[in-house]
């Protein structure tokens, strides 16, 4: 393959600069013998997406390594020093189970402390949401989480948080990148840390975090009656093992079964193909454990414990997976029901969802006369909304279809520790009424509308793959379909230009959200199709949402099959192929 000149020049700067010899040798090998690896390692620089800095570990500007982490941290330090020139700066750092986790955390701590910034580093791996809590609890100006979330084992990442405990949003993200780009060489990075400014933290943050979670419980008497509810939990080799069982116990649950081999902290994730609870095989061992123990609820968290996938028993006694939209719907329905029962709805409360999350959440909230706000994909936008509405309105809960939920506002990111405790509480609440979590779903669909969703991801690796995905998006915008599955397109929302085009009325309205490479088609029969290139992985995501009615709970399975077939027809119509 022909390697573009700028890629070779970028690689050669790593041969000439102040890099360690092992790194230089690796670059030389790529230049001499591995053009494909060279292109993928140097064709671009890692940038902040919806999840921050994330990439394959290795040598190169497009890889996670000491130098890309160091330069990013130096850029962060420069930005913090410029933004808060008269303050004593503090930054919290946490990390999950991935390879090089402590190395990247220590590199980050060294660079920050070398710049005169006080750093608080957890003594061992901790969930991402606890970092968000720690930032606010310790009154830090920023925070860094070393994680690649649910990505494969080759990946690591670097999430930057601001003083509100939320991931960075504009203008901070772009300003930090601008500071990084000002760094001309690794010589500009202060790698030699100041140990006097690096503090270790642990239990002094864990205890208040768990206490705050315990205070979220809305049905403590129900849990007392249902304390023997059988729950299987797995952290999929990640950070959840530290605090999820502890949170469940704090709520009052007694029968928590572990998947012992998956309690082992291991960045190779040896017992799963992927540590992603969105993918059903990740829960296989936990479901087997549930069968063996007759447990009705299974929960699995991803490596940094900000997402949770669940399985519940259906009416045949089989364990079935709920998708993220279904779990979010059950959770929001429970929260609003309890808030109403307890007289806590005053007219100032709200929930939040993302534009690709089920619109059933809005239907439920409308019933309780609680406003629903939409944000772009990525929980940082939900955190940003919470920050803007502080002291004016009260956040009850929110979520996104990708298995991320939040209850309460003392954390400003999706939180699987909170979610596991609250989902278990909903299961106890249902059991107290003689129902299962599974049986709640058709009741919700019957009362409101039967929304059914699915997600399809198409992966394309490397530079050519990224270009192919961008071309697909251009084609969808240039020649959008007139109809899908026999239903006319009545609305097109293009978030890249913040415009919603009403086809039937031939008028265009502005979308009051930041611009993003997201495109949505809405059909006359209530279907919604969303296309979005991932901000953290080399793939494009297609989100499908179809809608029907459920008049009889006994028709739940049959109606679900009909809606599933409707989604298959849409996929065929749009000629989407993996």
pLDDT, tens digit (0-9, with 9 covering 90-100), for 501-521:
999 899 999 999 999 999 999
Name the pTM for this structure: 0.94
pLDDT of residue 500 exceeding 90: yes
Q: Is residue 315 part of a domain?
A: yes
pLDDT, tens digit (0-9, with 9 covering 90-100), for 300-325:
999 999 999 999 999 999 999 999 99
pLDDT of residue 155 exceeding 90: yes
Q: Is residue 17 part of a domain?
A: no
The answer on 401 and 285 residing in a single domain is no
pLDDT, tens digit (0-9, with 9 covering 90-100), for 173-221:
888 888 888 987 899 999 999 999 999 999 999 999 999 999 999 999 9
Given 286, 301, 322, which residue is the final one in a domain? 322
Q: Is residue 432 part of a domain?
A: no
Confidence (pLDDT) at 185:
85
pLDDT, tens digit (0-9, with 9 covering 90-100), for 272-300:
999 999 999 999 999 999 999 999 999 99
* Residue ranges making up the domain that contains 52: 44-206
CB 55 within 8 A of CB 64: yes
In sequence order, what DSSP letters do the residues of 190-226 get, joined into one string? --S--GGGEEEESHHHHHHHHHHHHTT-S-HHHHHHT
Q: Please tell me whether the peptide bond between 229 and the residue prior to it is cis, using omega within 30 degrees of 0.
A: no
The answer on 187 and 50 residing in a single domain is yes
Confidence (pLDDT) at 547:
96
The answer on 193 and 82 residing in a single domain is yes
pLDDT of residue 238 exceeding 80: yes
Confidence (pLDDT) at 330:
98
The answer on 240 and 168 residing in a single domain is no
The answer on 183 and 51 residing in a single domain is yes
**CATH code assigned at 173:** 3.40.120.10
Confidence (pLDDT) at 535:
67
**pLDDT confidence band for 461 (50 / 70 / 90):** confident
The answer on 52 and 126 residing in a single domain is yes
Q: Is residue 83 part of a domain?
A: yes
pLDDT, tens digit (0-9, with 9 covering 90-100), for 44-78:
888 765 556 889 999 999 999 999 999 999 999 99
pLDDT of residue 1 exceeding 70: no
Confidence (pLDDT) at 463:
79
Given 367, 392, 414, which residue is the final one in a domain? 414
Residue percentage of the chain with pLDDT more than 70: 98
CB 91 within 8 A of CB 80: yes
The answer on 376 and 366 residing in a single domain is yes
The answer on 161 and 65 residing in a single domain is yes
Spot the catalytic one: 113, 132, 142, 149: 149
- Give the residue with greater pLDDT, 554 vs 203: 203
CB 355 within 8 A of CB 377: yes
Confidence (pLDDT) at 48:
66
Number of neighbours of residue 211 by Cβ within 10 angstroms: 10
Number of neighbours of residue 187 by Cβ within 10 angstroms: 10
* Cα three-residue angle 329-331-335, rounded to 5 degrees: 115
Structure tokens at 449: 């509308």
What does each C-alpha distance from 225 to 254, 285, 338 come to in angstroms?
11, 29, 17
Q: Is residue 22 part of a domain?
A: no
Confidence (pLDDT) at 290:
98
DSSP, collapsed to helix, strand or coil, labels residue 530 as: strand
Using left for φ > 0, alpha for ψ between -120 and 50, and beta otherwise, residue 553 falls in alpha
- What is the average pLDDT across 333-341? 98
525 Cβ neighbours under 8 A, 6+ residues apart? 485, 487, 547
Query: Is 149 a catalytic site residue?
Result: yes
Q: Alpha-carbon Rg of the chain, whole angstroms? A: 24
- What is the average pLDDT across 30-46? 91
The answer on 180 and 114 residing in a single domain is yes
Using left for φ > 0, alpha for ψ between -120 and 50, and beta otherwise, residue 58 falls in left
The answer on 557 and 471 residing in a single domain is yes
The answer on 398 and 276 residing in a single domain is no
- What is the average pLDDT across 224-234? 98
pLDDT, tens digit (0-9, with 9 covering 90-100), for 417-438:
999 999 999 999 999 999 999 9
Structure tokens at 501: 């085009």
CB 295 within 8 A of CB 259: no
The answer on 196 and 50 residing in a single domain is yes
Q: Is residue 402 part of a domain?
A: yes
Given 360, 394, 414, which residue is the final one in a domain? 414
Q: CA torsion sign, 275 to 276 to 282 to 286?
A: positive
- Look at strands 297-301 and 308-313 and give their pairing: antiparallel
Structure tokens at 486: 């026999």
**CATH code assigned at 538:** 3.30.310
Confidence (pLDDT) at 495:
97
Q: Is residue 253 part of a domain?
A: yes
Q: Is residue 468 part of a domain?
A: yes
Confidence (pLDDT) at 51:
57
Structure tokens at 201: 């933290």
- Look at strands 319-322 and 118-122 and give their pairing: unpaired
Q: CA 135, CA 349: separation in Å to the nearest integer?
A: 25
pLDDT, tens digit (0-9, with 9 covering 90-100), for 518-548:
999 999 999 999 999 986 677 999 999 999 9
The count of domains in the chain is: 4
Confidence (pLDDT) at 223:
98
């Amino acid at each position: 393959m022909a390697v573009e000149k700028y890629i070779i020049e970028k690689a050669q700067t790593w041969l000439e600069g102040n890099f360690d010899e092992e790194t230089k040798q690796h670059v030389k090998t790529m230049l001499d013998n591995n053009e494909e690896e060279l292109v993928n390692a140097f064709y671009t620089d890692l940038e902040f997406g919806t999840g921050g800095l994330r990439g394959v570990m290795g040598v190169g500007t497009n890889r996670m390594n000491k130098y890309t982490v160091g330069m990013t941290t130096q850029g962060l330090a420069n930005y913090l020093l410029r933004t808060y020139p008269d303050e004593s700066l503090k930054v919290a750092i946490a990390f999950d189970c991935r390879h090089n986790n402590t190395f990247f955390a220590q590199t980050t701590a060294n660079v920050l402390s070398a710049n005169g910034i006080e750093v608080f580093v957890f003594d061992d791996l901790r969930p991402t949401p606890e970092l968000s809590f720690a930032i606010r609890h310790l009154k830090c100006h920023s925070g860094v989480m070393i994680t690649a979330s649910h990505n494969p084992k080759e990946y690591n990442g670097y999430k930057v948080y601001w003083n509100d405990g939320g991931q960075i949003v504009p203008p901070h993200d772009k300003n930090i990148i601008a500071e990084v780009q000002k760094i001309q060489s690794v010589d500009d990075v202060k790698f030699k840390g100041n140990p006097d400014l690096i503090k270790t933290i642990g239990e002094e943050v864990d205890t208040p975090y768990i206490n705050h979670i315990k205070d979220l419980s809305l049905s403590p008497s129900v849990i007392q009656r249902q304390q023997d509810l059988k729950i299987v939990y797995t952290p999929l080799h990640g950070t959840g093992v530290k605090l999820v069982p502890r949170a469940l116990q704090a709520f009052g649950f007694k029968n928590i079964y572990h998947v012992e081999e998956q309690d082992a902290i291991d960045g190779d994730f040896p017992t799963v193909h992927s540590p992603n609870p969105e993918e059903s095989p990740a829960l296989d061992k936990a479901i087997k454990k549930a069968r063996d123990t007759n447990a009705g609820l299974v929960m699995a968290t991803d490596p940094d414990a900000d997402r949770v996938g669940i399985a519940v028993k259906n009416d045949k006694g089989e364990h079935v997976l709920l998708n993220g939209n279904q779990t979010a719907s059950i959770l929001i329905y429970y929260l609003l029901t309890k808030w109403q029962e307890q007289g806590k709805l005053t007219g100032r409360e709200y929930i939040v969802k993302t534009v690709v999350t089920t619109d059933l959440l809005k239907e439920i909230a409308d019933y309780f006369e609680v406003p629903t706000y939409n944000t772009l994909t990525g929980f940082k936008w939900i955190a940003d909304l919470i920050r803007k509405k502080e002291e004016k309105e009260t956040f009850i809960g929110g979520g996104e279809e990708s298995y991320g939920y939040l209850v309460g506002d003392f954390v400003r990111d999706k939180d699987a520790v909170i979610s596991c405790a609250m989902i278990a509480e909903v299961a106890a609440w249902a059991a107290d009424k003689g129902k299962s979590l599974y049986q709640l779903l058709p009741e919700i669909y019957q009362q409101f509308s039967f929304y059914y969703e699915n997600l399809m991801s198409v992966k394309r690796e490397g530079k050519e793959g990224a270009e192919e995905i961008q071309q697909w998006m251009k084609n969808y915008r240039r020649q959008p379909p007139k109809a899908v599955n026999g239903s006319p397109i009545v609305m097109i929302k293009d978030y890249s230009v913040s415009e919603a085009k009403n086809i039937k009325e031939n008028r265009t309205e502005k979308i009051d959200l930041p611009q993003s490479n997201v495109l949505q088609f809405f059909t006359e029969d209530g279907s919604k199709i969303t296309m979005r290139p991932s901000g953290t992985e080399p793939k494009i995501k297609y989100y499908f949402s179809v809608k029907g009615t459920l008049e009889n709970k006994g028709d739940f399975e049959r109606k679900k099959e009909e809606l599933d077939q409707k989604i298959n027809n849409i996929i065929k119509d749009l000629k989407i192929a993996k």
